[in-house]
Amino acid sequence: MNNPSRFKKGELKKNQGKRGPGKTTVAARQAIAAFVDGNADKLQGWLDEIAKEKGAQAAFDTFTTLLEYHVPKLARHETTGNDGGPVKVEIQWMETE
């Protein structure tokens, strides 16, 4: 079965360097993924304890911090118009006969 999102031989990913990620980086990512996968069933209990002791905001902050290590971050980009002002969008319709 062909999966277009899989790595292709000789293809470099963005910012990975000439030879790809180092062995230590790969090992660390695998260790974090294994920890998260192995403790997924316990996560709710831990979050419930944190919420009980420190409040819902602390539990939410803990959860979002954990996600940063397992889910890729998205880059934010800001687009501005001339001199840092708003972007002006103009739509022109073409009449067809």
Between CA 62 and CA 39 the distance in angstroms is 15
* pLDDT for residue 23: 80
Between CA 54 and CA 64 the distance in angstroms is 16
Over residues 58-77, the pLDDT tens digits come to 999 998 888 776 676 677 77
Least confident range from 4-8, 56-60, 78-82: namely 4-8
Under the banding of pLDDT at 50, 70 and 90, the label for residue 54 is: very high
Between CA 87 and CA 97 the distance in angstroms is 32
Domain-by-domain residue ranges, the chain?
23-71
The DSSP output letter for 82 is: G
Would you tell me how many other CB atoms lie within 10 Å of the CB of residue 66?
16
Between CA 79 and CA 86 the distance in angstroms is 8
Q: What are phi and psi of 24, to 5 degrees?
A: -65, -40
* pLDDT for residue 11: 64
* pLDDT for residue 59: 94
Q: How far is CA 59 from CA 9, 23, 26, 79, in A?
A: 42, 33, 29, 34
Over residues 15-48, the pLDDT tens digits come to 666 666 678 878 887 887 788 788 888 989 999 9
Q: What are phi and psi of 47, to 5 degrees?
A: -65, -40
